Amino acid sequence: MNWPASLQARLGLSLGLVLTILWLLAATVTAVIVRGEMDEVFDSALRETAERILPLAVTDIVGREDQGVTQRLAPIREHDELFTYLVRDAEGLILLQSHAADPAVFPPYDAPGFRQTATHRLYSDAALQGTIRITVAEPLAHRMSVAREIQMGLGLPLLIVLPLALAAIVMAVRFSLDPLRRFRAQLEARGARDLSEVAADDLPTEIGPLAATLNSLLARLREAFEAERSFAANAAHELRTPLAGAIAQAQRLRSETSDPATDARAAEIEATLKRLTRLSERLMQLARAEGGRLRMDRSADLRAVARVVVDDLARASAPGRIALTLADTAVMSDIDPDAFGILCRNLVENALRHGAETAPVDVTLTGDAQLIVSNDGPVLPRDTLSRLTVRFERANPSTDGSGLGLAIVVAIADRIGSQLILKSPRPGSSSGFQASLRLPTDPAETIARDAMRRT
């Protein structure tokens, strides 16, 4: 027998089977005991009947004028005679019999006591030194009928009680497993990066150690991730000062030398140090995305943050290349503005770096808090798209970049319960690339905006 995989089904099935077997066994034992007690009661009734009728029969027979005549007693009213009897003399001549007695079912008298044939249970007794003998008979079918009624009385309730008992067992098992079901629901509702302890106060004592072990494992994982993030953030932060000093020295060397070869080497060193500086900044952003608090207790308008980020990038590295489109109404969200700025900056920088140099980068923030960044360029294969969010993965290894921009965006999207969607070519075009994600919005603001639209 293959047991079901569900613990609830296993408990319900096993308890139901045990209850059914025990109940049937108890009913069988009860029926056997009741049958034995019933036989004793009927035997006692046979004997009492014989002992009460025999003195009356002796008085009647001795006082007769005509000896040797068979007398059949007529019934006072019609009824089923379950006990029948014959009164015979020593030679077997019938002297007295009940109205429904059939002499054929009465065997010859042999001795006082009980006797049983294939169809009847009999009791015999004698008086006057054995000259007057009585035999009382009861049909075995009567006893079997009574036994069947008793068995039906014991068995029929089982057809009602057992289903009710099984339903009660299922409900009891389901109620008992509710804490475990809530514990599972808590685990299923958690995000992939949520390593906080799971509440397990109401779990049964058998499951409690499992929850404690799980929480201990989550705590160790949380400490390991915190140590990793702290190391990355601290290392990146500590690198900024020496890198800035090294860049300054390289720039000074270039300004002081007149040798073209030395100037070229100093320029290469400066470019490498700047790449290291950008990488350290990306590592700090990644540590912030994975470890910081990205949802706030209050909402803010994201349009101002998007405008600041785009203006800064346009002024620093891409004048005239970024086309910003903002919603007419406020885009309220509880995402940390700094986290949104990191997210927006990485998407735009990725589009500027990997898109066509002469084509504009379109940045759109819609009223329903959807951020869309698209650029023109060659179409990327599907397998390349699936790898872009992997850390240190770049679509074109020859281009400048750390390979962490989209990985940072994905980390922030996971933490705020969103998903980064990459498409190539961009919708409505045969070329280009588009990245989009939906930001968390203020429910009250969303309801108010929908109401305004309907009116």
The pLDDT value given to residue 118: 92
The pLDDT value given to residue 237: 63
Q: Which two tokens stand for residue 259?
A: 């040798």
- According to DSSP, the residues that pair with 138 across neighbouring strands are 121
Widest distance between CA atoms in the chain? 168
Calpha distance 196→62 (Å, rounded): 105
Q: What is the 3-state secondary structure (H, E, C) of the chain?
A: CCCCCCHHHHHHHHHHHHHHHHHHHHHHHHHHHHHHHHHHHHHHHHHHHHHHHHHHHHHHHHCCCCCCCCEECCCCCCCCCCCEEEEEECCCCEEEECCCCCHHHCCCCCCCEEEECCCEEEEEEEECCCCEEEEEEEEHHHHHHHHHHHHHHHHHHHHHHHHHHHHHHHHHHHHHCHHHHHHHHHHHHCCCCCCCCCCCCCCCCCCHHHHHHHHHHHHHHHHHHHHHHHHHHHHHHHHHHHHHHHHHHHHHHHHHCCCHHHHHHHHHHHHHHHHHHHHHHHHHHHHHHHHCCCEEEEEEEHHHHHHHHHHHHHHHCCCCCEEEEECCCCCEEEECHHHHHHHHHHHHHHHHHHCCCCCCEEEEECCCCEEEEEECCCCCCHHHHHHCCCCCCCCCCCCCCCCCHHHHHHHHHHHCCCCCEEECCCCCCCCCEEEEEECCCCHHHHHHHHHHHHC
The pLDDT value given to residue 447: 47
pTM (two decimals): 0.46
Of 282, 281, 283, 294, residue with least CA distance to 194? 294
Residues of the chain with pLDDT under 50: 446-447, 449-450, 453
Calpha distance 353→356 (Å, rounded): 8
- According to DSSP, the residues that pair with 120 across neighbouring strands are 139
The pLDDT value given to residue 228: 63
Q: Is 70:52 a contact under the CB 8 Å cutoff?
A: no
Other Cβ atoms less than 10 A from the Cβ of 203: the count is 18
